[in-house]
Structure 1
Amino acid sequence: MEADAAAVDAGLLLLRVLVGVVFAAHGFQKLFGWFRGGGFEGTAGWFRSLGFGDGRVAAAMAGTTEICGGLGLAAGLLTPFAAAGVIGVMTVAAHVNAREKGFWSVRNGWELNYYLMAVAFGLAVTGPGRWSLDAALGLQLRGLAVGLGALLVGTGLGTLRWVTRRRDEATA
Protein backbone atom coordinates (compact mmCIF):
# COMPACT_ATOMS: atom_id res chain seq x y z
CA MET A 1 0.00 0.00 0.00
CA GLU A 2 2.79 2.46 0.88
CA ALA A 3 4.52 1.71 -2.44
CA ASP A 4 1.27 2.50 -4.31
CA ALA A 5 0.93 5.83 -2.48
CA ALA A 6 4.57 6.67 -3.23
CA ALA A 7 4.00 5.89 -6.93
CA VAL A 8 0.97 8.21 -7.02
CA ASP A 9 2.93 10.95 -5.25
CA ALA A 10 5.84 10.52 -7.67
CA GLY A 11 3.48 10.72 -10.65
CA LEU A 12 1.79 13.86 -9.30
CA LEU A 13 5.18 15.46 -8.60
CA LEU A 14 6.41 14.69 -12.11
CA LEU A 15 3.22 16.04 -13.69
CA ARG A 16 3.19 19.17 -11.52
CA VAL A 17 6.84 20.03 -12.08
CA LEU A 18 6.93 19.38 -15.83
CA VAL A 19 3.72 21.24 -16.60
CA GLY A 20 4.22 23.97 -14.00
CA VAL A 21 7.81 24.87 -14.88
CA VAL A 22 7.09 25.04 -18.61
CA PHE A 23 3.97 27.10 -17.95
CA ALA A 24 5.96 29.52 -15.77
CA ALA A 25 8.63 29.75 -18.48
CA HIS A 26 5.98 31.14 -20.83
CA GLY A 27 5.34 33.90 -18.31
CA PHE A 28 9.06 34.68 -18.13
CA GLN A 29 9.08 34.89 -21.93
CA LYS A 30 6.19 37.36 -21.86
CA LEU A 31 7.46 39.62 -19.09
CA PHE A 32 11.24 39.45 -19.41
CA GLY A 33 12.02 38.06 -22.86
CA TRP A 34 13.74 35.01 -21.40
CA PHE A 35 13.94 31.80 -23.47
CA ARG A 36 13.66 33.79 -26.72
CA GLY A 37 10.37 35.36 -25.69
CA GLY A 38 8.99 38.67 -26.87
CA GLY A 39 9.47 40.43 -23.55
CA PHE A 40 6.99 42.86 -22.12
CA GLU A 41 6.84 45.28 -25.06
CA GLY A 42 6.67 42.52 -27.67
CA THR A 43 3.95 40.71 -25.74
CA ALA A 44 2.02 43.96 -25.24
CA GLY A 45 2.16 44.54 -29.00
CA TRP A 46 0.83 41.06 -29.66
CA PHE A 47 -2.03 41.57 -27.23
CA ARG A 48 -2.70 44.97 -28.82
CA SER A 49 -3.05 43.20 -32.20
CA LEU A 50 -5.70 40.95 -30.61
CA GLY A 51 -7.76 43.94 -29.48
CA PHE A 52 -6.58 44.17 -25.87
CA GLY A 53 -6.26 47.97 -25.87
CA ASP A 54 -2.61 49.00 -25.69
CA GLY A 55 -1.75 45.43 -24.59
CA ARG A 56 0.23 46.31 -21.47
CA VAL A 57 -2.38 45.26 -18.92
CA ALA A 58 -3.02 42.01 -20.81
CA ALA A 59 0.72 41.27 -21.02
CA ALA A 60 1.19 41.92 -17.30
CA MET A 61 -1.85 39.82 -16.36
CA ALA A 62 -0.94 36.89 -18.61
CA GLY A 63 2.75 36.83 -17.72
CA THR A 64 2.19 37.18 -13.99
CA THR A 65 -0.55 34.54 -13.96
CA GLU A 66 1.61 32.12 -15.95
CA ILE A 67 4.55 32.56 -13.58
CA CYS A 68 2.50 32.35 -10.38
CA GLY A 69 0.21 29.58 -11.63
CA GLY A 70 3.06 27.55 -13.09
CA LEU A 71 5.32 27.83 -10.06
CA GLY A 72 2.34 27.21 -7.76
CA LEU A 73 1.56 23.97 -9.61
CA ALA A 74 5.22 22.92 -9.66
CA ALA A 75 5.60 23.47 -5.91
CA GLY A 76 2.14 22.17 -5.08
CA LEU A 77 1.38 25.43 -3.27
CA LEU A 78 -2.24 26.57 -3.05
CA THR A 79 -2.84 24.14 -5.88
CA PRO A 80 -6.49 24.99 -6.68
CA PHE A 81 -5.62 28.69 -7.01
CA ALA A 82 -2.64 27.89 -9.23
CA ALA A 83 -4.89 25.59 -11.27
CA ALA A 84 -7.51 28.33 -11.64
CA GLY A 85 -4.79 30.65 -12.96
CA VAL A 86 -3.62 28.10 -15.51
CA ILE A 87 -7.21 27.43 -16.57
CA GLY A 88 -7.90 31.15 -16.88
CA VAL A 89 -4.89 31.86 -19.11
CA MET A 90 -5.66 28.81 -21.24
CA THR A 91 -9.29 29.91 -21.55
CA VAL A 92 -8.16 33.21 -23.06
CA ALA A 93 -5.70 31.36 -25.31
CA ALA A 94 -8.46 29.01 -26.45
CA HIS A 95 -10.64 31.99 -27.36
CA VAL A 96 -7.75 33.49 -29.32
CA ASN A 97 -7.15 30.23 -31.17
CA ALA A 98 -10.80 29.28 -31.64
CA ARG A 99 -11.59 32.24 -33.88
CA GLU A 100 -10.30 30.73 -37.11
CA LYS A 101 -7.96 27.90 -36.28
CA GLY A 102 -10.30 25.22 -34.95
CA PHE A 103 -9.46 22.40 -32.55
CA TRP A 104 -6.29 20.69 -33.78
CA SER A 105 -2.94 22.00 -32.56
CA VAL A 106 -1.35 21.10 -35.91
CA ARG A 107 -3.24 24.16 -37.20
CA ASN A 108 -2.47 26.17 -34.03
CA GLY A 109 -5.93 25.39 -32.68
CA TRP A 110 -7.08 25.14 -29.09
CA GLU A 111 -6.37 21.43 -28.52
CA LEU A 112 -3.29 22.03 -26.32
CA ASN A 113 -5.11 24.73 -24.33
CA TYR A 114 -7.71 22.18 -23.28
CA TYR A 115 -5.10 19.56 -22.40
CA LEU A 116 -3.46 22.02 -20.02
CA MET A 117 -6.85 22.98 -18.59
CA ALA A 118 -7.58 19.28 -18.00
CA VAL A 119 -4.23 18.76 -16.23
CA ALA A 120 -4.85 21.78 -13.99
CA PHE A 121 -8.40 20.63 -13.23
CA GLY A 122 -7.16 17.11 -12.46
CA LEU A 123 -4.52 18.43 -10.05
CA ALA A 124 -7.11 20.60 -8.30
CA VAL A 125 -9.35 17.53 -7.87
CA THR A 126 -6.66 15.07 -6.75
CA GLY A 127 -4.48 17.54 -4.91
CA PRO A 128 -0.73 17.82 -5.41
CA GLY A 129 0.22 14.72 -3.40
CA ARG A 130 2.30 14.29 -0.26
CA TRP A 131 5.44 15.69 -1.89
CA SER A 132 4.16 19.25 -2.08
CA LEU A 133 4.13 22.47 -0.10
CA ASP A 134 0.37 22.10 0.43
CA ALA A 135 1.02 18.79 2.22
CA ALA A 136 3.95 20.24 4.19
CA LEU A 137 1.70 23.08 5.36
CA GLY A 138 -1.14 20.69 6.22
CA LEU A 139 -3.46 22.14 3.59
CA GLN A 140 -6.17 19.76 2.39
CA LEU A 141 -7.19 21.64 -0.75
CA ARG A 142 -8.60 18.97 -3.04
CA GLY A 143 -11.75 17.19 -4.09
CA LEU A 144 -14.34 17.38 -6.81
CA ALA A 145 -15.94 20.56 -5.44
CA VAL A 146 -12.52 22.24 -5.18
CA GLY A 147 -11.65 21.19 -8.72
CA LEU A 148 -14.98 22.38 -10.07
CA GLY A 149 -14.44 25.67 -8.26
CA ALA A 150 -11.03 26.10 -9.90
CA LEU A 151 -12.53 25.22 -13.27
CA LEU A 152 -15.44 27.64 -12.90
CA VAL A 153 -13.28 30.50 -11.59
CA GLY A 154 -10.62 29.97 -14.27
CA THR A 155 -12.98 29.64 -17.23
CA GLY A 156 -15.23 32.39 -15.91
CA LEU A 157 -12.43 34.92 -15.41
CA GLY A 158 -10.70 33.91 -18.64
CA THR A 159 -13.90 34.34 -20.63
CA LEU A 160 -14.63 37.64 -18.89
CA ARG A 161 -11.12 38.84 -19.80
CA TRP A 162 -11.71 37.84 -23.42
CA VAL A 163 -15.12 39.49 -23.82
CA THR A 164 -13.99 42.75 -22.17
CA ARG A 165 -10.70 42.99 -24.06
CA ARG A 166 -11.62 45.99 -26.22
CA ARG A 167 -12.96 48.17 -23.44
CA ASP A 168 -10.50 48.28 -20.58
CA GLU A 169 -7.01 49.19 -21.76
CA ALA A 170 -7.71 51.95 -24.25
CA THR A 171 -7.94 54.35 -21.32
CA ALA A 172 -5.13 52.81 -19.25
Structure 2
Amino acid sequence: MTSLSSSADTNATATLWTPRLLSVFRIVLGLLFLAHGLVKLFGFPTGAQPGVVPLLSIFGLAGVLELVGGAAIVLGLFTRPVAFILSGQMAVAYFMAHASQGFYPILNGGELAILYSSAFLYLAAVGAGPWSLDARRNA
Protein backbone atom coordinates (compact mmCIF):
# COMPACT_ATOMS: atom_id res chain seq x y z
CA MET A 1 0.00 0.00 0.00
CA THR A 2 2.89 2.39 0.50
CA SER A 3 3.56 2.61 -3.23
CA LEU A 4 -0.02 3.78 -3.79
CA SER A 5 0.15 6.41 -1.07
CA SER A 6 3.57 7.50 -2.30
CA SER A 7 2.18 7.88 -5.80
CA ALA A 8 -0.78 9.86 -4.45
CA ASP A 9 1.59 12.11 -2.48
CA THR A 10 3.68 12.71 -5.59
CA ASN A 11 0.58 13.59 -7.63
CA ALA A 12 -0.71 15.91 -4.91
CA THR A 13 2.68 17.65 -4.71
CA ALA A 14 2.84 18.01 -8.49
CA THR A 15 -0.70 19.36 -8.61
CA LEU A 16 0.16 21.93 -5.95
CA TRP A 17 3.56 23.05 -7.21
CA THR A 18 3.41 22.79 -11.02
CA PRO A 19 1.38 25.99 -11.53
CA ARG A 20 3.48 27.86 -8.96
CA LEU A 21 6.73 26.80 -10.62
CA LEU A 22 5.30 27.94 -13.96
CA SER A 23 4.94 31.39 -12.39
CA VAL A 24 8.52 31.26 -11.05
CA PHE A 25 9.77 30.20 -14.50
CA ARG A 26 7.87 33.08 -16.14
CA ILE A 27 9.26 35.66 -13.69
CA VAL A 28 12.87 34.50 -14.08
CA LEU A 29 12.54 34.37 -17.88
CA GLY A 30 11.06 37.87 -17.95
CA LEU A 31 13.77 39.33 -15.72
CA LEU A 32 16.54 37.83 -17.84
CA PHE A 33 14.92 39.08 -21.04
CA LEU A 34 14.25 42.53 -19.60
CA ALA A 35 17.99 42.84 -18.90
CA HIS A 36 18.70 42.66 -22.65
CA GLY A 37 16.43 45.67 -23.17
CA LEU A 38 18.14 47.61 -20.37
CA VAL A 39 21.50 47.10 -22.06
CA LYS A 40 20.26 48.18 -25.49
CA LEU A 41 18.29 51.21 -24.33
CA PHE A 42 20.22 52.46 -21.30
CA GLY A 43 23.62 50.77 -21.40
CA PHE A 44 22.95 49.15 -18.02
CA PRO A 45 24.95 47.50 -16.67
CA THR A 46 27.96 49.35 -17.99
CA GLY A 47 30.18 47.25 -20.20
CA ALA A 48 27.49 44.76 -21.28
CA GLN A 49 27.25 44.13 -25.00
CA PRO A 50 25.98 45.53 -27.31
CA GLY A 51 25.63 48.68 -25.18
CA VAL A 52 23.31 51.55 -26.06
CA VAL A 53 21.94 51.27 -29.60
CA PRO A 54 20.07 53.87 -31.67
CA LEU A 55 16.38 53.79 -30.74
CA LEU A 56 15.28 54.07 -34.37
CA SER A 57 17.08 50.94 -35.50
CA ILE A 58 16.31 47.24 -35.60
CA PHE A 59 18.31 46.82 -32.38
CA GLY A 60 16.45 49.75 -30.82
CA LEU A 61 13.12 48.13 -31.68
CA ALA A 62 14.42 44.86 -30.21
CA GLY A 63 15.42 46.74 -27.04
CA VAL A 64 11.94 48.22 -26.66
CA LEU A 65 10.35 44.78 -27.15
CA GLU A 66 12.78 43.26 -24.65
CA LEU A 67 12.23 45.94 -22.00
CA VAL A 68 8.46 46.34 -22.30
CA GLY A 69 7.80 42.69 -23.15
CA GLY A 70 10.12 41.45 -20.41
CA ALA A 71 8.34 43.65 -17.86
CA ALA A 72 4.92 42.38 -19.02
CA ILE A 73 6.17 38.79 -18.72
CA VAL A 74 7.50 39.43 -15.19
CA LEU A 75 4.14 40.86 -14.15
CA GLY A 76 2.20 38.18 -16.00
CA LEU A 77 0.26 40.82 -17.92
CA PHE A 78 -1.15 39.79 -21.33
CA THR A 79 1.26 36.89 -21.11
CA ARG A 80 0.02 34.80 -24.02
CA PRO A 81 0.07 37.47 -26.76
CA VAL A 82 3.26 39.12 -25.43
CA ALA A 83 5.04 35.77 -25.21
CA PHE A 84 3.95 34.92 -28.76
CA ILE A 85 5.38 38.21 -30.07
CA LEU A 86 8.63 37.72 -28.14
CA SER A 87 8.94 34.15 -29.42
CA GLY A 88 8.69 35.51 -32.95
CA GLN A 89 11.21 38.24 -32.19
CA MET A 90 13.73 35.67 -31.02
CA ALA A 91 13.11 33.45 -34.06
CA VAL A 92 13.74 36.44 -36.33
CA ALA A 93 16.84 37.36 -34.30
CA TYR A 94 18.18 33.84 -34.73
CA PHE A 95 17.77 33.86 -38.50
CA MET A 96 19.00 37.43 -38.95
CA ALA A 97 22.02 37.36 -36.64
CA HIS A 98 23.04 33.74 -36.14
CA ALA A 99 21.95 31.34 -38.89
CA SER A 100 24.11 33.09 -41.49
CA GLN A 101 27.19 32.36 -39.36
CA GLY A 102 26.80 28.58 -39.70
CA PHE A 103 24.33 25.75 -39.38
CA TYR A 104 25.04 24.64 -35.81
CA PRO A 105 23.72 26.88 -33.01
CA ILE A 106 26.64 25.92 -30.77
CA LEU A 107 28.97 27.39 -33.41
CA ASN A 108 26.89 30.37 -34.55
CA GLY A 109 26.08 31.63 -31.03
CA GLY A 110 22.33 31.23 -31.45
CA GLU A 111 21.55 28.91 -28.54
CA LEU A 112 20.14 31.68 -26.36
CA ALA A 113 17.89 33.00 -29.13
CA ILE A 114 16.52 29.49 -29.73
CA LEU A 115 16.04 28.92 -26.01
CA TYR A 116 14.20 32.23 -25.54
CA SER A 117 12.04 31.59 -28.60
CA SER A 118 11.08 28.13 -27.32
CA ALA A 119 10.45 29.32 -23.76
CA PHE A 120 8.22 32.18 -24.92
CA LEU A 121 6.32 29.86 -27.25
CA TYR A 122 5.71 27.59 -24.25
CA LEU A 123 4.36 30.54 -22.22
CA ALA A 124 2.15 31.54 -25.14
CA ALA A 125 0.62 28.06 -25.00
CA VAL A 126 0.26 27.57 -21.22
CA GLY A 127 -0.20 31.11 -19.92
CA ALA A 128 1.19 32.95 -16.92
CA GLY A 129 0.39 30.72 -13.96
CA PRO A 130 -1.37 31.67 -10.74
CA TRP A 131 1.05 34.36 -9.55
CA SER A 132 0.27 36.88 -12.29
CA LEU A 133 -1.83 39.88 -13.13
CA ASP A 134 -3.54 37.75 -15.80
CA ALA A 135 -4.78 35.42 -13.03
CA ARG A 136 -5.98 38.41 -10.99
CA ARG A 137 -7.82 39.87 -14.00
CA ASN A 138 -9.56 36.56 -14.69
CA ALA A 139 -10.50 35.85 -11.06
Question: What range describes the TM-score normalised by the shorter chain of this pair?
Answer: 0.7 to 0.9
Q: Quick check: 2:20–2:130 contact (8 Å CA) kept in 1?
A: no
CA change 1:103–1:70 in 2 (3 A) is: farther
**Deviation per residue, 1:17-55 (Å, 9 max, x gap):** 111101001001000000233443xx24xxxxxxxxxx8
Q: Quick check: 1:72–1:82 contact (8 Å CA) kept in 2?
A: yes
Q: Which residue does the alignment assign to 2:93?
A: 93
- SS of alignment partner, residue 45 of structure 2: helix
For residues 130 and 60 of structure 2, what CA distance do their matches in structure 1 show?
A: 32
Per-residue deviation, 1:110: 2.3
Q: Which residue does the alignment assign to 1:33?
A: 43
Unaligned runs of 5+ in 1: 45-54, 140-172
Unaligned runs of 5+ in 2: 1-10
Q: Which residue does the alignment assign to 1:6?
A: 16
Q: Quick check: 1:69–1:81 contact (8 Å CA) kept in 2?
A: no
Q: Quick check: 1:31–1:59 contact (8 Å CA) kept in 2?
A: no
User: TM-score, normalization: structure 1?
Assistant: 0.64
User: TM-score, normalization: structure 2?
Assistant: 0.78
Q: Which residue does the alignment assign to 2:5?
A: none
Q: Which residue does the alignment assign to 2:68?
A: 68
Q: Quick check: 1:102–1:109 contact (8 Å CA) kept in 2?
A: no
| Structure 1 residue ranges, 4+ long, deviating more than 6 angstroms after superposition | none
Q: Which residue does the alignment assign to 1:17?
A: 27
Alpha carbon RMSD of aligned pairs, Å? 2.1
Q: What is the 5 A alignment of 1:39-78?
A: 39-40=51-52, 43-44=53-54, 56-78=56-78
User: How many residues are matched?
Assistant: 126
